[in-house]
Amino acid sequence: MRNLRTTLFLGTATLLLSASPMSPAHAAPGDGYVRLAHLSPDTPEVDVYLYSAGKKTPRLVLRHVGYGALSPYQRLGTGSYTVMMRPADAPATSKPVLSTNVRVQSGDSYTVAGMGPYKGIKLDILKDTADLPAGRAGVRVIAASLKQPALNVTAGGQSLADGLQLANATPYRVLDAAPKTIRVQGRKGDAVSLRLPLRAGALHTVVVLDGKKGLRLLDQRDARQSAQTPKGGVDTGLGGLAVQTPWWQALAMAGLALWFSGRARARGFDGRSRARWFSGRARSADGQARPQP
């Protein structure tokens, strides 16, 4: 026990002293991304407001956002934000018809969408990131059609959704990274398809909307990650610029080490002395106080 404690003491001192240009690891938070969407088939146009939580002035206003519109991703610092939707051209100070808070975390993407029929419209927050196995792609489906309220979706013969209802989103399904035909079929047999060039590491969202004649499919390329992820870091340095420990630092380290071990020995730093420090008495197993031997 004595040796372990001494070693830890000396080890810490050595580490602190040998800090040759030891860089402080930045804990700076990164950014996240948010996009806004209007996916309610029978809701009229809205103005969308994005506020930093607690602020009265919006940092972003999108005007006359109609059914089927998705904004580009907005890069935002990590933190809390409020999204409000008001009827198009309603005053900025009027009460919103929809409001939600979204917490943005570093490196994550979100879609904040008005979903569902007018009578039950709600603001949903979808997380747009997923872990993909190396070299694969991911596709999810959002049902936003009132005319076909239940959908069956396949991709190259593989089922992505079965009876997906309006205002619902599937999770990302993992697929091979190869061009795939997405086929969407409603209850009454109307079918529509879209060819997706799925690249390795890509995440797509297919939004099913009401078009002029039947269903309309929208492909959103949500994000892409590196097709391959190397293990660990990179050895990109050969030492030509490395700083040597200055002689005075090495001497100080040695001096401190000697001093600490000297102090430890003088104090009789061993198991027996600990008991003495805590109290003059020891308690035996039966709880009776007995004088120290």
Q: Work out how close the CB of 293 gets to another protein at its nearest, in angstroms, rounded to a whole number.
A: 48
Q: What is the C-alpha separation between 152 and 127, in angstroms, rounded?
A: 22
Burial-class residue 144 by CB neighbours within 10 Å (0-12, 13-18, 19+).
Answer: buried
> Is 99 one of the binding residues for another protein (CB under 8 A)?
yes
Q: What is the C-alpha separation between 281 and 55, in angstroms, rounded?
A: 62
The alpha helices in the chain, defined as continuous H runs, are: 2-17, 247-266, 271-278
> Is 196 one of the binding residues for another protein (CB under 8 A)?
no
Distance of CA 172 to the CA centre of its chain: 15
Which listed residue (13, 218, 256, 264) binds another protein by CB under 8 A? 218
Cβ closer to another protein: 106 or 279? 106
Subset of 48-77 contacting another protein (CB under 8 A): 53, 66-71, 73, 75
Contact status, residue 78 vs residue 105, Cβ threshold 8 Å: yes
> Is 236 one of the binding residues for another protein (CB under 8 A)?
yes
Subset of 149-178 contacting another protein (CB under 8 A): none
> Is 202 one of the binding residues for another protein (CB under 8 A)?
yes
Which listed residue (57, 229, 284, 288) binds another protein by CB under 8 A? 229
> Is 80 one of the binding residues for another protein (CB under 8 A)?
yes
> Is 117 one of the binding residues for another protein (CB under 8 A)?
yes
The span of 1-9, 21-29, 151-159, 255-263 binding another protein (CB under 8 A) equals: 21-29
Closest listed residue to residue 205, CA positions, set 271, 259, 124: 124
Which listed residue (242, 267, 280, 293) binds another protein by CB under 8 A? 242
> Is 33 one of the binding residues for another protein (CB under 8 A)?
yes
Closest listed residue to residue 35, CA positions, set 129, 122, 172: 129
Cβ closer to another protein: 157 or 239? 239
Q: What is the C-alpha separation between 291 and 220, in angstroms, rounded?
A: 79
The span of 128-136, 155-163, 267-275, 282-290 binding another protein (CB under 8 A) equals: 128-136
Backbone angles phi, psi at 274, to 5 degrees: -60, -45
